[in-house]
Structure 1
Amino acid sequence: MGGETDPRSFGTLPDGREVTVHTLTAPGGLRLRVLDLGATVQALHLPDRAGGTTNVALGHPDAAACAALPEAFLGAVVGRYANRIAGARFDLDGRTVALAANEGGNTLHGGPDGFHRRTWQVVEAGPDRLVLELVSPDGDQGFPGEVVLRAGYAVADDVVTLDLEARTDAPTVVGPASHLYLNLAGEGTGTVDDHRLTVEADRYLPVGPDSLPLGGLADVTGTPFDLTAPARIGDRVRAEHPQTAAVRGIDHSYHLRGTGLRRAALLEHPASGRSVELFTDQPALQVYTGNSLDGAGSSGRRYRQGDGVALEPQRHPDSPNRPELSDPVLRPGETYRSRTEWRFRH
């Protein structure tokens, strides 16, 4: 089961756990490297015009760097609930659930020991497909119910697919997401300022300095958050606006048009000719322009602010307290499913 993905050691964590990296290869030459730690995309190599490949995903250089602080969640599947839950608590079926806080008094990406820090088990492996599973016990970081989550990666031609599937034995909230950072110029080459970004959304969630929603959805018209047509990222993150000032760029949830699997975003790098269309069935897309990036990169160069952009399909932040934004509740007998597709051109 394991040999077909060419599993290799990625080093050892401070707590002694070994980390393994698996490589998936598409017939056209696309290569995806995935860690069993956090079901993490460590690298994504696309064929280039020179006959070689270019890595367009930000990632850690080794296992030790994965555990270093501050956390950047590079390429990981984060959860049990992606993004922020205000006050590290929410009410469910008339009961208040208290969570582990890890960002001030709030819970970010599942808590201090979120899914990105867990070793996932390989349940299926092939040259172009890898399925990893994580069992999250009842009370994990405060979340009720045992949740079994599977992350299935597949590559075909110039497409990478991630399928997430979860079940629970008690009512809970579930909202995992991929935290993949992209730089289509190439990992470690500098900022994504010259990338152009389109997001298929007419509304977004304004936030406070703590990155929690201030209220309801707002129209993007007339703001730097209007990405309904291609916009240069550098121009938007430096625009004069209270919301870009609040988070030093863009770190906002967009309410996507439509339902079902549809295009959520287009990211383009005109100089290289590379682009990627992101498709998802999720209601929201968190756009994060790497405003706090600072750490060792897989190429040996240190990442700095703006060196990658994360486009995270998910439910809206704080939805466990704001069900009008999106419904995060999963109950026994139900199955949570989500699909993300990255369709590249190069």
Structure 2
Amino acid sequence: MAVEIKDFGTLPDGRAVHAYTLRGKGKLELTASDYGCRILHLMAPGRDGVPGDMLLGHNTLEGYLGKNFQGAMIGRVGNRIGGASFSLEGKEYHLAKNDGENSLHGGPGGFHQALWQAEVKDGDEPEIVFTLESPDGEEGFPGNIKVEVSYQLSAEDILHITYRAQTDKLTLFNPTNHSFFNLSGDPEKDVLGTYLTINATRYTAVSDDLIPTGELLPVSGGPLDFRSPKKLGDDMFSQDHLINLCGGFDHNFCPDGTGYRKIAEAYEPDSGRVMEVFTDMPGVQLYTFNRPDDGLIGRNGKQMGHHTAFCLETQFYPDTVHHKDFPGGYLRPEEEFVSRTSYKFSVK
């Protein structure tokens, strides 16, 4: 097997950024960068046997600088924190407001902006392990925290993502990966024809700024009912208030069951690619790239248009810190956080 390391540009402060490509015994090929612990490419053959890139992204580092979450490890806290503030052990913490009045994806200087340390492990099932130390107070969060994220390619064409973290003070932690999938391999083709199944009977109700109300509502019979395979486009333009407000899906589902289990499956009929999603996390955010900036250009000069990707971000529920009945979301000094999410690829 082979691991390839290349230069991927230089940050404005002069630090070098690298891209690491893993090729294992299976058919998957992954390229990740130490900037943002970010997955740049994820290649797999379609029904015709020709490999295609299943992720939207950019050819150069410059495309990822700033407020770009594509492919990145999100932290300390994925999704939103209402009011960009919270209380822990009687102390108030205030965060940057980078999504209206709320905090989004760890703040403007979150893990997606950090330069991580990388260690590559070659072999039939190659792995790259990224590590980061985030100091007490960074982006307003308490506690020194050590984070490890590994990407491993299995011989069965599974991308395993494993998260580990430790802290010296009670803090919030909700990691996720923000890859933008397009299983057609064509970044200009919309995903409206992709069939999606989500094994969830409930979702988190939210206000218009996407902050949970605390209610878990049934998906049954409505536009969020993905319990059977359904094209993303079937209800993308329904009269549902929140779908209209967002311009598509941007919803947290509560997959049934607990522990490591299959929670979702996506199928792109033209390419034949199938992606199954497994996780031990209690939630998953479906986002359908609803309103990209006009003229946003990705790889090879191709425009990133509306609904040309979907994200399935495994996570704790949004704004967990303000809802005592929501599961998880905290990291304690006496514990090691360990979680796994896996994406399995095949064709039919």
TM-score class, shorter-chain normalisation, is: over 0.9
Aligned to 1:56: 54
When the two chains are superposed, the root-mean-square deviation of aligned CA atoms in Å is 1.6
Q: How many Å apart are 1:4 and its aligned residue?
A: 5.9
Aligned residues of 2:188 and 2:303 also touching (Cα < 8 A): no
SS of residue matched to 2:62: helix
| Residue 237 (structure 1) aligned with residue 233 (structure 2) | no
For 1:22 and 1:132, locate their aligned partners in 2 and report how far apart those are by CA, in whole Å. 11
Shift of 1:292: 2.3
Q: Secondary structure at the match of 2:205?
A: coil
Q: What TM-score, normalized by structure 1, do the two folds share? A: 0.95
* 1:1-346 alignment, distance < 5 Å: 5-68=3-66, 71-127=67-123, 128-157=126-155, 158-294=157-293, 295-346=296-347
TM-superposed CA distance for 1:326, in Å, is 1.9
Deviation, structure 1 residue 237: 1.4
**What one-letter code is carried by the residue in structure 2 that aligns with 1:90?**
F
| Residues 72 and 240 (structure 1), Cα distance of their counterparts in 2 relative to 1, 3 Å cut | farther
User: What letter is aligned with 1:20?
Assistant: H
**How does the TM-score come out when normalised to structure 2?**
0.94
The one-letter code sitting in structure 1 at the alignment partner of 2:289 is: G
How far residue 49 of structure 1 moved from its aligned partner, in angstroms, is 4.3
Within 1, Cα distance between the matches of 2:24 and 2:36? 22
Aligned length: 342
User: Equivalent residue of 2:339, what SS?
Assistant: strand
The amino acid that maps onto 1:197 is L
Assess, with a 3 A threshold, how the Cα gap between structure 1 residues 233 and 49 changes in structure 2: closer, same or farther.
closer
59-68 or 216-225, which deviates more: 59-68
Is contact 1:163–1:337 with CA below 8 Å preserved after alignment?
A: yes
Tell me how far apart the structure 1 counterparts of residues 68 and 283 of structure 2 sit (CA, whole Å).
21
Conserved 8 A contact 1:208-1:246: no
SS in 2 for 1:181: coil
The answer to whether the 8 Å contact 1:166/1:335 transfers is yes
Opposite residue 322 of structure 2, the aligned amino acid is N
Q: Which amino acid is 1:304 matched to?
A: G
Q: Does the CA-based 8 Å contact 1:14-1:64 persist in structure 2?
A: no
Q: Distance in 1 between matches of 2:242 and 2:96?
A: 28
Structure 1 residues 46-55 or 125-134, which shifts more? Answer: 46-55
Query: Would the aligned equivalents of 2:2 and 2:23 in 1 still touch at CA under 8 Å?
Result: no
Provide the C-alpha distance between the structure 2 equivalents of 1:133 and 1:97, rounded to a whole number of angstroms. Answer: 25
* Identity, % of aligned positions: 37
Q: Helix, strand or coil: the match of 2:292?
A: coil
Q: Is the 8 A contact 2:151 2:159 kept in 1?
A: yes
Which runs of no fewer than 5 residues in structure 1 stay unpaired? none
